[in-house]
Amino acid sequence: METKSKQPVPSNTITRDLCDIAAPTGNVYESTMIIAKRANQIAADVKQELSHKLEEFSNYADTLEETFENREQIEISRYYERLPKPTLVAIKEFEDGKIYYRKAE
């Protein structure tokens, strides 16, 4: 997977100031919902991409006794496990002002 942002995203959770998160919208709950919706979009994209890559290795005739480990499949899975969580990516995008949002009013 190609990382869309060139800036590094922290791989673990860090403490953030709620005032900084609430500043763009004026409401911390609106900001949280924007971040949550973007995180869901990112997670869906990553899941679709991972499923597409692992689909190459699927063998529909396998039974439980006949399954075996494929080295390439394991490496792909490990790569996706090491990616930052979608919520961390969404928070970083929100802080950088890269998320477009609007009110439905």
The residue among 98, 105, 102, 92 whose CA lies nearest residue 30 is: 102
Longest dimension (CA), the chain: 57
Residue 59 pLDDT: 66
Residuewise pLDDT in 10s, the chain (105 residues) = 444 545 677 777 788 899 999 999 999 999 999 999 999 999 999 999 999 988 877 766 555 555 566 788 888 888 998 899 999 999 999 999 999 988 887
Q: Which two tokens stand for residue 57?
A: 């290795």
Residue 4, judged by CB atoms within 10 A of its CB (0-12, 13-18, 19+), counts as exposed
Per the CB < 8 A criterion, the answer to whether 92 and 9 are in contact is: yes
User: Model-level pTM greater than 0.75?
Assistant: yes
